[in-house]
């Protein structure tokens, strides 16, 4: 017989027929006459209840049916008498496929802290919370591809190992096959990377943007969606050393079109999750509400998770220039009462406390900040006519901070080369990148969106380590 998934069974596939169920035991309870076994197979947050009559199953048979065990059940799917589920299985046979010793299986019935579950990341996927988070993550990844595919964007696979060290997006992880205890040296004592695997020094990519720009000059509209690596030693709830980034790059786009696309994209992905993961989002919403009960009144959420997501989908993002943002901050009571830790003045980068003030206190919605001072942004961002600012944009989201960084790119060869030199990059090293300006260059723009930050937003999870299956952070690469 073919196995049917819990999700389909709960929708009433094959009522009053014999079915085969396979999954993992969540709980077992019972009395002298009957046992109730809740089974989950990951297809939905909901368990399917298996009813095993004591007269059909001896204690001996059921003793290995414990929390965590993998079982196969055959029986008739019937409308349930009990409350809480529409259907249940009247079991005729139960086979234990894999035991889970109750003495040592770490996931027993009681609630576990997220911190503890991080230490057993290989088992935490079997909990309700992580089941919900990763089903939502899956839906959102699909929505990313769906969105760009519907718009005719070409999905480009940019390299993971790169030799370009000029992106300046962050600290890099070196990739080498040299003997690090005893590397080959040049005459003047430097490590001789000519003897390394690629004949040169290489790293894990911090961004696919430059290769993306190259591709946009051929296909017009492209996007990347892949792993990105940053060896930044920032132990925050928003930074990973390995994260997934979505980077669209569009020929013939200016900054406004770029911002419009980013806003439309974010709303699309959130809406898709709302439509396709209702039950999972509702579960996480309940979880957050429980968490809130332990917080002081003023730290509690004003909106439920669903309300927050619907609000974002249904309202325009706020748009301000960096200069306007600085004005807002300097005119705030928060500033006047000296409550910001970091300096606020034109020319300094916005710190996360400033971003949070703008988004959570002032506008209370996502904000697109544009036109930053050129000295705090990358060399490839297009210089504005004022000569002081560049056509950059950051999108800031409530509770998350920066979720998107992007810009219109500098397409004018002379200005680009000048900016490279100003930040100490040798234009000769970037010859292939500059060829995109040398041959058929055109105005273009793009952005990078951190996928985990968007998953954090949709799931309401406070720590980025809880929205990627196996997080890589400083001092942590277990599993």
* Coil, strand or helix at 227: strand
Give backbone dihedrals phi and psi of 400, rounded to 5 degrees, phi first. -115, -35
51 touches ligand ATP (CB under 6 A): no
Structure tokens at 253: 């786009």
140 touches ligand ATP (CB under 6 A): no
Closest distance of CB 403 from ligand ATP, Å: 5
**How many residues contact ligand ATP, by CB under 6 A?**
17
Closest distance of CB 465 from ligand ATP, Å: 10
Place of tokens 């705090």: 376
Q: Quick one: 23 or 450, whose CB is closer to ligand ATP?
A: 450
Q: Quick one: 37 or 392, whose CB is closer to ligand ATP?
A: 392
Pairing of strands 161-162, 87-98: unpaired
Q: Which of residues 223-252 bind ligand ATP (CB under 6 A)?
A: 230, 232, 239-240, 243, 245
Closest by CA to 278, choosing from 313, 306, 314, 312, is 306
Pairing of strands 221-229, 154-155: parallel
Q: Quick one: 430 or 464, whose CB is closer to ligand ATP?
A: 464
Residue from 224, 452, 455, 466 that binds ligand ATP (CB under 6 A)? 452
Q: Quick one: 281 or 468, whose CB is closer to ligand ATP?
A: 468
How would you class 336 by CB atoms within 10 Å of its CB: exposed for 0-12, middle for 13-18, buried for 19 or more? exposed
Q: Quick one: 51 or 326, whose CB is closer to ligand ATP?
A: 326
Closest by CA to 259, choosing from 446, 454, 398, is 446
325 touches ligand ATP (CB under 6 A): no
Residues contacting residue 275 through CB under 8 Å, at least 6 positions apart: none
CA dist 384 and 392 (Å) reads: 10
Closest distance of CB 170 from ligand ATP, Å: 6
Contact status, residue 160 vs residue 203, Cβ threshold 8 Å: no
The interface mask with ligand ATP, positions 155-194, x = CB under 6 A, is --------------xx------------------------
Closest distance of CB 239 from ligand ATP, Å: 4
402 touches ligand ATP (CB under 6 A): yes
- Sign of torsion over alpha carbons 153, 157, 160, 161: negative
List residues binding ligand ATP (CB under 6 A). Answer: 169-170, 230, 232, 239-240, 243, 245, 402-405, 448-450, 452-453
């Amino acid at each position: 017989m073919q196995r049917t998934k819990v999700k389909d069974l709960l929708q009433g596939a094959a009522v009053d027929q014999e079915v085969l169920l396979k999954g993992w035991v969540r709980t077992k309870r019972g009395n002298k006459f009957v046992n109730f076994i809740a089974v989950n197979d990951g297809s939905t947050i909901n368990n399917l209840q298996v009813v095993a009559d004591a007269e059909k199953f001896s204690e001996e048979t059921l003793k290995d049916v414990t929390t965590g065990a993998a079982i196969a059940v055959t029986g008739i799917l019937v409308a349930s008498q009990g409350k809480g589920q529409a259907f249940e299985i009247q079991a005729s046979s139960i086979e234990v496929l894999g035991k889970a010793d109750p003495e040592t299986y770490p996931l027993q019935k009681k609630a576990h802290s997220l911190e503890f579950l991080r230490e057993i990341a290989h088992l935490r996927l079997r909990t309700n919370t992580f089941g919900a988070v990763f089903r939502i993550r899956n839906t959102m990844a699909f929505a990313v591809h769906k969105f760009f595919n519907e718009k005719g964007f070409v999905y480009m696979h940019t390299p993971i190992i790169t030799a370009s060290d000029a992106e300046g997006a962050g600290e890099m992880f070196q990739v080498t096959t040299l003997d690090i205890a005893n590397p080959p040296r040049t005459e003047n004592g430097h490590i001789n990377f000519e003897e390394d695997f690629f004949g040169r020094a290489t790293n894990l990519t911090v961004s696919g943007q430059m290769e993306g720009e190259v591709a946009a000059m051929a296909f017009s509209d492209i996007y990347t969606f892949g792993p990105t690596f940053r060896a930044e030693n920032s132990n925050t709830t928003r930074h990973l050393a390995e994260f997934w980034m979505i980077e669209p790059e569009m020929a013939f786009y200016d900054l406004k079109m770029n911002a419009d696309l980013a806003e439309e994209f974010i709303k699309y992905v959130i809406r898709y999750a709302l439509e396709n993961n209702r039950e999972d989002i509702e579960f996480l919403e309940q979880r957050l509400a429980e968490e809130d009960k332990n917080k002081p009144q003023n730290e509690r959420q004003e909106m439920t998770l669903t309300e927050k997501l619907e609000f974002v989908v249904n309202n325009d993002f706020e748009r301000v220039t960096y200069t306007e943002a600085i004005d807002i901050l300097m005119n705030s009571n928060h500033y006047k009462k000296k409550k910001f830790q970091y300096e606020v003045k034109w020319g300094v980068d916005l710190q996360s406390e400033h971003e949070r003030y703008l988004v959570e206190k002032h506008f209370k919605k996502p904000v697109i900040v544009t036109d930053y001072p050129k000295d705090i942004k990358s060399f490839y961002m297009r210089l504005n006519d004022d000569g002081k600012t560049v056509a950059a944009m950051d999108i800031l989201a409530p509770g998350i901070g920066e979720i998107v960084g992007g810009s219109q790119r500098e397409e004018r060869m002379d200005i680009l080369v000048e900016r490279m030199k100003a930040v100490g990059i040798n234009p000769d090293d970037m010859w292939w990148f500059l060829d995109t300006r040398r041959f058929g260059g055109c105005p273009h723009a793009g952005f990078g969106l951190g996928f985990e930050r968007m998953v954090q937003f949709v799931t309401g999870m406070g720590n980025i380590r809880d929205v990627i299956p196996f997080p890589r952070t400083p001092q942590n690469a277990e599993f």
